[in-house]
Amino acid sequence: MYKRPVGIGVLAGLVSCSCIIIPIFLIIFAGSNFYISSQFRNYDTLFIIIGAAFLAIVLIYDLKRKNALNPAGIKKNKKSIYTSIFIFIVTDFIILIISFFLMGFD
């Protein structure tokens, strides 16, 4: 029932945390040095804004696909919208906590 909203929230959360995920993959797989990889952390606010915008665009697309992009349709799909937003926030916090343990508090 909530597969689509959960998937949307997780994907948007991963997009917004890519400033944390990309450096880890660069260090592990590409052999990048730590300085280049750590420069992504300077843009964490920008990545969160991009992730939130991605979430909004995908939710609008999903509502438009269901022909529910009107006040009545939004009310009807309120639970799935709230689920996507909640999963987005939870994914951000989980990745943030994991990155603190992997990369340290800075």
**Domain residues of the chain, as ranges?**
3-103
Comparing C-alpha atoms, which of 77, 53, 92, 90 is closest to residue 4? Answer: 77
Comparing C-alpha atoms, which of 17, 22, 83 is closest to residue 50? Answer: 17
For 98, the enclosing helix (H) or strand (E) is helix 78-103
At 33, which amino acid appears? N
Name the DSSP letter for residue 27.
I
Residue 7 has pLDDT above 80, yes or no: yes
pTM value surpassing 0.95 = no
* Tokens describing residue 36: 């280049």
Determine the Cα–Cα distance for residues 51 and 85; give it in Å rounded to an integer: 11
Per residue in 57-90, pLDDT tens?
888 888 888 888 899 999 999 998 999 999 998 9
Determine the Cα–Cα distance for residues 93 and 5; give it in Å rounded to an integer: 18
Residue 32 has pLDDT above 60, yes or no: yes
* Tokens describing residue 67: 């022909």
